[in-house]
């Protein structure tokens, strides 16, 4: 692969601003990051101010240490004057067939319990057969999605918070909603996603969501898993979920994919889900 020409001073300053942003998001001092990368704090300071120009290897080393998502590693490389390294392949392409097959196996093997595949913005990519059947208990699959998302991407977070979606069917809404907002804030800050940031603004303008829920409660003890109690057509379904990711992804799409698998929290919920399957 041929490299781009060295970056200009303007692009170096752009890199420095991005580097400071990611260092701040990871709550690291210049000294801590410099020690982790085996460089001097002085050199790191010069990189952030634009006085020094990073090599391509240094950009990648910093991004790895800061655990920057692959999409944003490309942004760091480009800000430093280099070509992006990581490709983004559509999930429907031939190259991604092994990934699709792995995801389908994970979804199918989780039957009779619901499971979904989402991207970093919580847009629905895949689901197993049980997931839509839950919606038949609350108004129908297509009807609920249309109310929440119209003809746009089917966003699971928007589905959850929308008045016409799952919100009115979540019996423990006041317990789970603040925790989900806290999660969204963290993901928006650490992923650099404009779509998640826009969703937070949208939810912040919803008068039905108390303003205090938008501020993190750092003293509140967090549960080991997030319980979700659904009132589905008069039946109570108690669930919790586990999220899996690809730990060795070298492609942007694969890096951003998450599989959320729901498990019954009690026998009655397990029996209901088995009946739906």
Per-residue pLDDT at 2: 35
Helix/strand/coil for 275: helix
Read out DSSP for 161-180? Answer: HSTTTTGGGBTTHHHHHHHH
Q: What gap in Å lies between CA 156 and CA 15, rounded to an integer?
A: 33
Q: What gap in Å lies between CA 137 and CA 235, rounded to an integer?
A: 9
Q: What angle do CA 137, 138, 143 make, to 5 degrees?
A: 115
Confidence band (pLDDT; 50, 70, 90) for 216?
low
Q: Is the pLDDT of residue 9 over 50?
A: no
Q: Over range 187-215, report the average pLDDT.
A: 88
Confidence band (pLDDT; 50, 70, 90) for 57?
very high
Nearest to 216 by CA among 252, 166, 181: 181
Q: What gap in Å lies between CA 120 and CA 201, rounded to an integer?
A: 17
pLDDT digits (tens, 9 = 90+) for 123-138: 999 999 999 998 888 8
Per-residue pLDDT at 4: 36
User: Which residue is associated with the tokens 């008045």?
Assistant: 163
Of 25-29, 33-37, 110-114, 217-221, the range with the lowest mean pLDDT is 217-221
Torsion, Cα 174 177 181 183, to 10 degrees, reads 120
The H or E element containing residue 98 is helix 97-109
Looking at the chain, the whole-number percentage of residues with pLDDT higher than 70 is: 93
Q: Which residues pair with 262 in a beta bridge?
A: 241
User: What global pTM score does this model have?
Assistant: 0.83
Confidence band (pLDDT; 50, 70, 90) for 36?
very high
Confidence band (pLDDT; 50, 70, 90) for 19?
very high
pLDDT digits (tens, 9 = 90+) for 86-106: 999 999 999 999 999 999 999
Per-residue pLDDT at 135: 87
262, 229 contact by CB (below 8 A): no
206, 258 contact by CB (below 8 A): no
Q: Is the pLDDT of residue 188 over 90?
A: no
The H or E element containing residue 241 is strand 235-245
Helix/strand/coil for 47: helix
């Amino acid at each position: 692969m041929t490299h781009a020409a060295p970056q200009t001073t303007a692009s170096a300053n752009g890199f420095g601003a991005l580097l400071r942003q990611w260092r701040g998001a990871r709550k690291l001092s210049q000294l801590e990051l410099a020690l982790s990368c085996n460089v001097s704090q002085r050199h790191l300071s010069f990189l952030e101010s634009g006085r020094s120009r990073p090599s391509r290897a240094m950009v990648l080393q910093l991004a790895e240490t800061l655990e920057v998502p692959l999409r944003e590693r490309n942004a760091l490389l480009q800000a430093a004057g280099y070509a992006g390294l990581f490709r983004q392949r559509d999930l429907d392409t031939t190259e991604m067939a092994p990934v699709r097959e792995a995801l389908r196996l994970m979804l199918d093997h989780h039957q009779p319990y619901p499971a979904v595949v989402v991207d970093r913005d919580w847009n629905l990519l895949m689901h197993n057969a049980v997931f839509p059947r839950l919606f038949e208990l609350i108004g129908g699959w297509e009807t609920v999605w249309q109310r929440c998302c119209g003809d746009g991407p089917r966003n699971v977070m928007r589905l959850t918070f929308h008045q016409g979606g799952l919100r009115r069917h979540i019996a423990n809404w006041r317990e789970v909603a603040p925790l989900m907002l806290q999660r969204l804030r963290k993901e928006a800050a650490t992923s650099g996603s404009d779509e998640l940031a826009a969703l937070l603004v949208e939810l912040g303008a919803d008068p039905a969501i108390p303003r205090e829920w938008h501020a993190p409660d750092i003293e509140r003890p967090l549960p080991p898993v997030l319980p979700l109690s659904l009132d589905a057509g008069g039946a109570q379904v108690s669930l919790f979920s586990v999220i899996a990711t690809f730990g060795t992804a070298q492609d942007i799409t694969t890096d951003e994919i998450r599989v959320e698998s729901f498990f019954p929290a009690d026998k009655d919920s397990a029996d209901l889900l088995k009946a739906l399957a």
